Amino acid sequence: MKKIEAIVQPSRFEAVKSALHEVGVEGMTVTEVRGHGRQKGHTEVYRGSEYTVDLLAKIKIEMVVSDGLAGSAIQAILRAAKTGKIGDGKIFVTHVDEAIRIRNEDRGEAAL
């Protein structure tokens, strides 16, 4: 099992979500987050006072999928989230040891 953590532009979120549904990803957890990578931030000016806003709004999508599905899920995210500009976000993939469904204690891929 793999955990895929994707941080994407809020404007691309809907596209990413439907692309993931199309390749068969059934569950995900979504959080509104703030952060920055190379994009840094932007400046705002209020009555002459400049503020640098370096933490920008992003959407973090987390999902755990079977090893077989991981590749196509990553491709789906790349397709849907890419605009080609700085700030498109990142994808992190990690190995997951165990998954348990709380309702009936299913384990492993059956719990996904």
Binding residues for other proteins (CB under 8 A): 44-49, 51-53
Minimum CB separation of residue 62 from other proteins in Å reads 23
Nearer to other proteins, 49 or 104 (CB): 49
Minimum CB separation of residue 7 from other proteins in Å reads 24
Question: Using an 8 Å Cβ cutoff, are 77 and 16 in contact?
Answer: yes
Nearest to 87 by CA among 44, 54, 51, 47: 54
Angle between helices 67-81 and 13-23 (to 10 degrees): 150
Q: How far is the C-alpha of 65 from the C-alpha of 76, rounded, in Å?
A: 13
β-bridge mates for residue 92, sequence order: 5
Minimum CB separation of residue 48 from other proteins in Å reads 3
